Chains A and B, each alone.
Chain A
Amino acid sequence: MILVIGEQRNGTLNRATWEAVAGAQQLAAGAPVVVVVAGAGVERVAAELAAGQVQEIVTIDSPALDAYTPDGYTAVLAAAIALLSPSVVVLPHTYQTRDFAPKLAARLDRALITDVTGMKKVGGDTAFVRPMFQGKLTADVVPQGPAPHFVTFQIGAFRADQAGRGATAAPIRPVAVNVDAGAIRQKPEAPFQEAKQSVDLSQAERIVSVGRGIKEQSNIALAQQLADALGAELAASRPICDSGWLPMERQVGSSGQTVAPKLYLALGISGAIQHLVGMKGASTIVAINKDPDAPIFEVADFGIVGDLFEIVPAMIAALKT
């Protein structure tokens, strides 16, 4: 049996859970899939998940799980895993998963393969495919040691709408797990957004995005000129916003905005996975980079290997004709 750990906040399901269900169904190849969801008041989320082609939905409901904490989640999910004895535990590779999954795997002393994009058979083993070295190389990795093995699926590796739906709703089974609220050391406050985002890149039709290859803050002006000539918004990868060269609200990637414009033109962006997950849904992707091995070329429709400081002025000139 494969167990999917679902993710919800305030009774709203994180859609990445469906991606994890789709991946788990593919991995299971017909074997049963069970989804567990923890929180306070998770009936609605459980009912939503019951539409999936799964054996059952297990819920762990406790007021102590109202706000997510790694201590609370690790305790109840370790108990659920002991009860259910899955062979593989699947999670979406969200920031919340990153916060507790290593703790849970360490508590049980079991392997955890993170950021997985696919599976393949190697001999009699299942190997999990994941990026390494900032996406410059890909590895096939086989978990070692006894089951259950933990696997987190990269966001976008499987499509939520490909998760198989059942003919009838799956049964929902509430499981009582004692939560010692006093043993939860983290005291979380309510999530918040920084200053209201004034730029909504998700609505942009065209985006010119800059990365480390832009070299200096003063060179941002050149990218802005290209954006103006294309009728595009200006965006950036994380290091540029970390340096303060562009405001954080213009950051594309897992920690910034997710965009899907008609045209995404990446200037000097190597294409680390954290960036790719934010923009690979663009219809047409152009990459200009001096490094022919840059991972950005793997997702690009059009690529130019060369010096952006020569190519961009030539593009601006060509756009005026």
Chain B
Amino acid sequence: MRIAVCIKQVPSRDSQPRVNDDQTWIREQDAGYEMNEPDAYALEEALRLKEAQGGEVVVCSAGPARVAQVIREALARGADRAIHVDDDGLASADAFVIADALAEAMRQEAFDLILTGLQSDDQGFAQTGVILAERLGLSHATIIMEVQSAAGGVRVKRELEGGWFQWVSMPLPAVLTIQSGINQLRYATLKGIMAAKKKEIRKAAPPATIAAPKQKIVSLYLPEKSKKTQMITGSPAEAATELVRRLREDARVIS
């Protein structure tokens, strides 16, 4: 099975992004980057499918030069080769622009299965995988928690809300967006890191007629508080004692 995994490089979870001077994007130079977490689960699922059935795992990413870091990481974990749609303009692009760039670079490869995370930790559109499916004319399913092979296709477990699930079957080729927690992630081994250095990364130019953006950020800012939060300060013991007092006497939610 020829499997593609679309991965995105996003600012690290643990850091607070800083807003740029004209308040329309983050200060990229201040950010640390990592692989979008749901995409890491999609990669792991692809590697497991390949190990079970044979085939090839190809990592695809659209973004500026810096995304080579997460591509190398994916190759070190076991992906066979990579396609990098390399353009600075893709750093803050919307889901349509990214999906169009990926579709152009991936169309000729005729993958059997395309996996990606259900959404990204940066702009969080939750759209790219589904738009990619439509652009490539493929079936799709979202928020997937299990992938089984079935005759001529796949049978996948979709997560619904509130603890409900649903199995859906569909023919291949198809696009699946993967939910975090579908599997246990592996780490790259030293051997994998060494092997990754020899693996092919095909650089693809963005489409000649790059899609017009479909949304524009006019302002980016720290969230406004919806509540007046009483911050409790002091040493850990003082703060803990004061919190317990307020929960007992002010909020009256404990006895």
Contacts and interface: CB of A to CB of B under 8 A. Distances in A.
A145 B143 CA distance: 29
B179 interface: yes
B244 A188 contact: no
B213 A144 contact: yes
A26 B220 CA distance: 23
A193 B220 contact: no
Interface stretch (A54-62, A161-169, A290-298): A290-298
A140 B139 CA distance: 32
Interface in B5-58: 11, 13, 16-17, 19, 26
B220 A298 contact: no
B236 A242 contact: no
Given A131-B223, A140-B219, A206-B254, A306 B164 contact: no
B135 interface: yes
Interface residues of A, number: 95
Interface in B241-255: 241, 243-247, 251, 253-254
Contact of A310 (B121, B127, B236, B253): B236
B interface: dominant SS: mixed
A141 B118 CA distance: 21
Interface stretch (B70-78, B83-91, B166-174, B193-201): B166-174
Given A102-B131, A112-B214, A113-B215, A132 B220 contact: yes
A134 B231 contact: no
Interface stretch (A17-25, A28-36, A170-178, A311-319): A311-319
Contacts of A194: 163, 165
A120 to B, nearest CB: 9
A109 to B, nearest CB: 8
Interface in A208-248: 230-231, 238-239, 241-243, 248
A258 B162 contact: yes
Interface string B128-152: 1011011100011111000000000
Contact of A286 (B216, B226, B241, B243): B243
Given A71-B139, A103-B130, A143 B243 contact: no
B227 interface: yes
B11 A138 contact: no
Contacts of A285: 227
Contacts of A125: 218
A298 B227 CA distance: 6
Contacts of A299: 226-227
Contact of B230 (A136, A138, A302): A302
Contacts of B221: 137-139
Contact of A191 (B125, B141, B143, B165): B165
A262 B218 contact: no
Contacts of A303: 229-232
A111 B180 contact: no
Given A106-B99, A255-B179, A144 B216 contact: yes
Given A141-B216, A186-B168, A315-B240, A254 B161 contact: yes
A98 B232 contact: no
A98 B213 contact: no
Contacts of A262: 253
Contacts of B126: 98, 102, 114-115
A122 B121 contact: no
B215 A142 contact: yes
Contacts of B227: 285, 298-301
Contacts of A314: 236-237, 239-241
B239 A311 contact: yes
Interface string A242-269: 1100001100001111100011000000
A97 B94 CA distance: 19
B217 interface: yes
Contacts of A103: 130-131, 133-134, 140
Contacts of A105: 127, 131
A310 to B, nearest CB: 4
B160 interface: yes
Contacts of A114: 124-127
Given A99-B143, A127-B218, A293 B16 contact: yes
22 contacts: A95-B143, A99-B141, A102-B125, A103-B130, A110-B214, A113-B215, A132-B220, A137-B222, A138-B224, A139-B221, A141-B216, A143-B215, A185-B171, A194-B163, A239-B180, A239-B181, A242-B180, A256-B163, A262-B253, A303-B230, A303-B232, A304-B232
A-B residue pairs, 9 tightest by C-beta: A242-B181, A314-B240, A310-B236, A102-B130, A111-B214, A102-B127, A106-B134, A263-B253, A185-B139
Interface of A: 70-71, 94-96, 98-103, 105-107, 110-115, 122, 125, 127, 131-145, 185-194, 197, 206, 230-231, 238-239, 241-243, 248-249, 254-258, 262-263, 270, 273, 283-287, 291, 293, 295, 297-307, 310-312, 314-315, 317-319
Given A99-B142, A283-B253, 15 more contacts: A102-B131, A103-B130, A112-B125, A113-B215, A122-B219, A132-B123, A136-B223, A137-B19, A140-B219, A303-B229, A304-B233, A304-B243, A310-B236, A311-B240, A315-B240
